[in-house]
Amino acid sequence: MISTILLVAFYLLTPLLILYSCKKLSILRRIGAIIIAYGVGIVAGVSGLLPENSAEIQDIIATISIPLAIPLMLFSSNMKSWSRLAGNTVISMIIALFAVVTAVVVGYLIFLTDDIPELWKVGGLLIGVYTGGTPNLAALKFMLDVNNDTYLITHAYDMIIGAGYFFFLLTIGQKVFSYVLPKFKPGLGSNDQNVLSDMSENPMWGLFKRSNHIPMLVALGISIAIFAVAGATTLFTPANSQMIVVILLITTLGILLSLIPSVNKLNNTFELGMYFILIFSIDVASMVDISSMVNASPTIFYYVFLVVFGSLFLQVVVSAIFKIDTDTVIITSTALICSPPFVPAVAGAIKNKEIIVPGLTVGIIGYAIGNYLGVLIAEFLHSF
């Protein structure tokens, strides 16, 4: 009993320690809370210190954390801002989504072998993470019933390759793309700085502010109610599709409730959702089999690399045809491939703050559609 309480406390409190450390130490802040969470989880898993009954607790925590995180991260969505996106941004977003889907499908056909029977699931994961982000990746793990080792290997390669991609955008991306794309014309972006304010620097620090505790408890209560409603569908849905139905219903209800002003304006709901993502990250990493990761096939690495840079190449080519400007292409690609928190950094690097809000809006749209699109494409790939 005591060991179970300590294990649960470890998973619940460690994310708070990580956030506090990231706040105090700039080097940890640069690494990122998600990466640190995975590292802590892996160390805990291989240390031999976890109790013998940890597997059951780990499964429960993993099953609960993601369904609670999804609606919390969607409550702050400002769907009204979607309609205010400039025409070029909308077209660029559509092109970027098309490029990601095309790269995933083509990559699947190139690397399809009997060595990786779950490659179609990996394709679904990549759709989720490169249209939304880590929350979608985690949700699709459950929806597609992805093996823990496959999930962690895919995410590890995503972080490694994504870091190189992000560095490229920060340094020479604008200069390279300017050879084939027109320059950005000021005045086309939105100035609505209220959109997705949760994506500011150190966005999760609001968890520690006492004034935010009541709003976050209210949001958590609503999220639990959504989970209960969605979970009730398992009583009458086939076993092989229960998790897909539950997660998609949770996503839909989260989006719909974001339209209610009193819910939409609750403070720091996105941050609270990311806290549950950190819990999930530590939990699932602590279940990994290191030997399977060390001996993993390089095919998944090649697949992820092709999707990231292949989709970027395709997006630039098609954008050149539609005469989409360099900065808009960069920011929509950043929002989808890297996720919204990276948008301000890239906008600052290319010296164009006007594209921050459109980029963040594209990113939150990606969060909203990532689960639907990920399942759809995964099932499509499975049909081959």
Number of domains in the chain: 1
Residue 346's contacts (CB-CB under 8 Å, 6 or more residues apart) are 166, 169, 170, 330, 331, 334, 338, 359
Domain residues for the domain of 102 are: 2-382
Q: Burial of 382 by CB count in 10 Å (0-12 exposed, 13-18 middle, 19+ buried)?
A: middle
The pLDDT, as a whole number, for residue 302 is 93
Q: What is the CATH number of the domain that holds 344?
A: 1.20.1530
Q: What is the pLDDT of residue 38?
A: 82
Which regions in the chain score pLDDT beneath 70? 78-86, 114, 187-206, 208, 289-295
Integer angstrom CA distances of residue 59 from 117, 145, 286 = 23, 13, 11
How much is the pLDDT for 198?
42
Q: Identify the CA nearest to 263 among candidates 70, 66, 72, 68.
A: 72
Separation CA 309–CA 331 (nearest Å): 15
DSSP secondary structure string for all residues of 138-179: HHHHHHTT--HHHHHHHHHHHHHHHHHHHHHHHHTHHHHHTT
pLDDT in tens, 169-204: 888 989 999 999 999 877 644 444 444 444 444 455
pLDDT computed for residue 363 by the predictor:
85
Other CB atoms closer than 10 Å to residue 374's CB: what's the count?
Answer: 29
The pLDDT of residue 295: 67
Dist CA 168 CA 183 (whole Å): 18
pLDDT single digits (tens) 68-95: 988 888 887 766 666 666 688 899 999 9
